[in-house]
Structure 1
Amino acid sequence: MVPPHLSLSLRTAFAMLLLTYASAFLTVLPAVSPSSTAPHQPLGKPSSSLPRNAMPALFLSRRRDKETAASSVAVPESVDHHRAAVPKWEVLDEYDEASKKDNTKMFEEMIAMRDKLFYKIQKELGLTEDKTFTDLKEIKGEGDARLGEILNYRGDKIEWGVRSWIGRPAEAFHNIHLTMWCNEKTHAPHLGLVFAAVPKPFIYLDVVPRYDQAISPDYLWEVQQGINDACIGARRNQQDFIPFVSNDNYMRACQSSSSVCASFDNFDEYKRKAFPLAEQYVDYWIRMVKQAKPVASPNERAKLRSRDKLFRKYVIDRDPGNQFADRFLGRGKTDRYLLAMKGELPTALDASTAAANAVKTGGVLFVGCTGRTGRQVLLGAIDSGLTPITILTRSVDRPAVKELMEDPLLKPHINFVEADLDRPDTVEKALEGIQYVYLHATSPDLTIPPPEEITRAETLIAAAKKKDARHIVFNSHACTDHNPFKIDHITQKAAIEEVVKNSGIPFTILRPTLFMEELWKDYTRKAVMKKKVFPFALSDDTKLQLVSCRDMGVEAAKALLRPESSLDKTVDIAGDELTMSEVASAFGESMGEDVRYKHTKLYKLIARLLNRNLYNFIRFYEGEPYRAAIQQLTNERADGGFPELWSFSKFLAQTQWADKNRSLKNL
């Protein structure tokens, strides 16, 4: 009872268990009220004259250049337009003309305070690091000089967090960020915080509402009234605070009614006033997030997600502080830095748009999908909108390939390319123009897992990296990180996972549970159809998770087209969870007859005596090892508009189990 993407020995093991076989962030635009649906569009052009104390960059973004292939982003034309439209920031001239005061001590104290606030947020909200941009943990310039860093985070309520700095503190300038963007399911504002020297000490604080403040007074009161006194006190204290007022009306519109944006003449006074104020804002924001009610309406969540993304893009593109990043890092390195600041994942600047553009040019390659399970995977991917698909095969003359070519459901959507995974030169040629790869399998099902499974995967992944692939999705196996009985085939899948993770290519690792198609094989089907008995070597109340091969195709498509939830992650996949008795009942319901479960204890004893691997396999299942989050997968598909998961009962109905004339080859 094993997934067919593992070797025949596990399939045989499954057979032996059966009766017939006994062996073998900055801000989000306050644009509309909660009931409005129209997204905000910026009006007019940016001011040609910017103030000398203009606000430092809070978020940065722009296009992906060739040299930042690792980010693999297709960017809409408007992004470059908005960045290009920003005139030269006059602070650059002021910086050039000023004596380069050493602000290192100021920088260190600001970093210490920023980190104190971050760790408080991390503790209260349970943030985990997102490792998409690990190459930016230490940004260096000429002579190995350190010019900045950026770390990103996610949480149950946080879509994207930024903890970063950039600059040259010994030469007066630095810009330190702590920004938290709530996700669309959380009814809470965002947090924006900047400590900087330009070269005077500077602070920006905002608890940012996500709806139009002017026509949503109840919402405004709910979100910002608790911080209003602190804001008013700071703004009226003109003796210490030097308010920043942008000449650009768009930048002014980005700030909420409770924002604080100011510089100081004296750093000691800054520490006495600005640091406590920052703590007050952060504490208030944490309370708001922890107490936030969930956004229940799918429509409202969609509006928030769209608005957050749209305005974040505009405000980042228009931020004049980008020009400092260009100067210190160079345009190419800045591009990568800006994507990380903005939260544009390597395949997520409109990931669906980027992937769809690649798909339209035939830029998706499926490997190991010419066998029996491969057809179901292809159908699931095509049903999800992933088309056309290029399929790698050793020879287009193989009978199985010819069947796929003539399949009426597949024919309009697929094409083939020949390559031999044992010949790297042919693989590199096959990957010309390929941007996305789904690796289903690299070897046939054999009794002993062949070492070539790993070497072929290494060949494929090396070629994909050489050709600047944007995303690779690997079909592994659940429990590769928990294999107490050292089942060889799972161990080998784990080895390939490491190859994928260490490739430098953005990845998603899918870990399927038991494939439902296993139960279509003759040794199961004959027992159920003829004897109305489903025999197995587990107790009748032991639960196992199941997934259809078609759902693997859907998950592959989802990972490529909408990678936000799975990029650089492992995802366990299942569509149903049933006891052995419930599996038998599902068979019976599909046939309109009674099918009973038979716990065959003798099989475990035989396996212990004759086949230690099989015996360990039985013990593996006795521990109910699979832990896929089925409800979460279900919700993600609904939110993304992908086909729903198949339960085992739906699988039996869709594959026409009750038709006695059908067999596995008909699937």
Structure 2
Amino acid sequence: MSGSSAQTKTIHEFLAESPDVDSSELWAQFWEILSEAKDRITAELPVQPHPSSAGLDYWATDDASYEGAMNTFAGEPAADGPHAEWLVHSWIGNRKNSILDMNLQVWLGPEVDVPHLIIVFGTIPQIFFYSEFVSRRDLMVETDYLAKYYEPQNESFLQLRGDDRFTWSVSHGTYMRAFLSPVAHSYVAERTEDVVETLREVVRERVDTWLGWVREATAVPEAERAALRQRDHQVRTYGYTLDPMNELSKKFLGAERVEELVAVRAGFQQMEETA
């Protein structure tokens, strides 16, 4: 197989090759990594469970072919600094049948313009890893913002990009490719302990970096905050609703149930509350 075909291979193709691989152990490892990151973040940016995900802390279909957990949280604006407006800690899939999609996503309020944070683990059944600092500005013209947040990450990005254990994974969704920043991680790798431990360190480094940005952030002028929040909410909406993974979930859950879960995950109710 050529490198290009490995990079553009669909999740459906990966699953068709190995449809019944038990990923329970990897689920436990990845959930531990995501939970540790969540705890570190919420220690500095307090949040409360959001009622929209009540009852979804664990769910499964009647035949147990698909399962998951949806934990959503919202923070209150702080008088003296930034807050986490929306935080999602979730997973969906089947731990015994190859496929998992596990997420930690933190969306900041408009008091600062620090990039948002996304960390995703999955099994297809190979390991999938995606991590992103979601830009709040137009990087093609706001080069000061690019230099402040993205240029310092260039070396660590290139280090992982050049690691032969990791194959670049190309989303088949054009919006999801437009979503990528210059330092996004999007990889498939073999199911080995050394890969897991490498990714554990990548996540810790990203969280360290991100929390440092949050601590040192300068305030966005009051007059600019409404427009920044509106843009954030648009990006949040499209990032969840246009994710090609939704189409895969519809095969297991049906379109109506997937749309319900996407609405909770994206935080449509929370957006309305803060509009």
Distance 1:103 1:147, change over 3 A: same
Partner residue of 1:183? 109
Partner residue of 1:261? 186
Are the counterparts in 2 of residues 189 and 289 from structure 1 also a CA contact under 8 Å? no
Runs of 4+ in structure 1 deviating by more than 6 angstroms, as ranges, are 51-54
Aligned-pair CA distance for 1:53: 6.4
Distance 1:251 1:99, change over 3 A: closer
CA offset digits 1:174-211 (Å, max 9, x no partner): 01000001112222110011011011101111112211
Distance 1:336 1:52, change over 3 A: farther
Partner residue of 1:220? 146
The structure 2 residue matched to 1:282, chosen from 195, 207, 214, is 207
Q: Which amino acid aligns with 2:165?
A: D
- Separation (CA, whole Å) in 2 of partners of 1:319 and 1:183: 23
**TM-score using structure 2 length:** 0.88
Are the counterparts in 2 of residues 226 and 284 from structure 1 also a CA contact under 8 Å? no
Distance 1:143 1:250, change over 3 A: closer
Q: Which amino acid aligns with 1:275?
A: R
Aligned-pair CA distance for 1:341: 1.2
The structure 2 residue matched to 1:165, chosen from 71, 74, 91, is 91
Distance 1:107 1:311, change over 3 A: same
Q: Which amino acid aligns with 1:279?
A: R
Are the counterparts in 1 of residues 129 and 186 from structure 2 also a CA contact under 8 Å? yes
CA offset digits 1:265-285 (Å, max 9, x no partner): 232132132110111011111
Aligned-pair CA distance for 1:287: 1.3
Aligned-pair CA distance for 1:150: 0.8
Distance 1:53 1:177, change over 3 A: farther
Aligned-pair CA distance for 1:213: 0.9
CA offset digits 1:188-239 (Å, max 9, x no partner): 11001101101110111111221111211111111223332211211122x1
Q: Percent identity?
A: 24
Partner residue of 1:205? 131
The structure 1 residue matched to 2:28, chosen from 103, 108, 112, is 108
SS at match of 1:136: coil
- Separation (CA, whole Å) in 1 of partners of 2:57 and 2:128: 24
Structure 1 segment 618-637 matched on structure 2, within 5 A: none
Structure 1 segment 416-431 matched on structure 2, within 5 A: none
Are the counterparts in 2 of residues 180 and 191 from structure 1 also a CA contact under 8 Å? yes
Partner residue of 2:47? 127
Distance 1:167 1:52, change over 3 A: farther
- Separation (CA, whole Å) in 2 of partners of 1:118 and 1:244: 25
Structure 1 gap segments, 5+ residues each: 1-50, 55-88, 352-562, 565-639, 641-667
Are the counterparts in 1 of residues 58 and 69 from structure 2 also a CA contact under 8 Å? yes
Partner residue of 1:330? 254
Distance 1:94 1:261, change over 3 A: closer
The structure 2 residue matched to 1:317, chosen from 241, 253, 257, is 241
- Separation (CA, whole Å) in 1 of partners of 2:19 and 2:45: 42
Aligned-pair CA distance for 1:105: 0.7
Distance 1:96 1:106, change over 3 A: same
Partner residue of 2:58? 138
- Separation (CA, whole Å) in 2 of partners of 1:247 and 1:321: 10
Aligned-pair CA distance for 1:163: 0.1
CA offset digits 1:548-591 (Å, max 9, x no partner): xxxxxxxxxxxxxxx33xxxxxxxxxxxxxxxxxxxxxxxxxxx
Distance 1:53 1:149, change over 3 A: farther
Aligned-pair CA distance for 1:153: 1.4
- Separation (CA, whole Å) in 2 of partners of 1:97 and 1:214: 40
Distance 1:286 1:100, change over 3 A: same
Q: CA RMSD in A?
A: 2.2
SS at match of 2:20: coil
Aligned residue pairs total: 265
Partner residue of 2:67? 147
Are the counterparts in 2 of residues 167 and 173 from structure 1 also a CA contact under 8 Å? yes
The structure 1 residue matched to 2:120, chosen from 194, 201, 204, is 194
- Separation (CA, whole Å) in 2 of partners of 1:53 and 1:242: 6
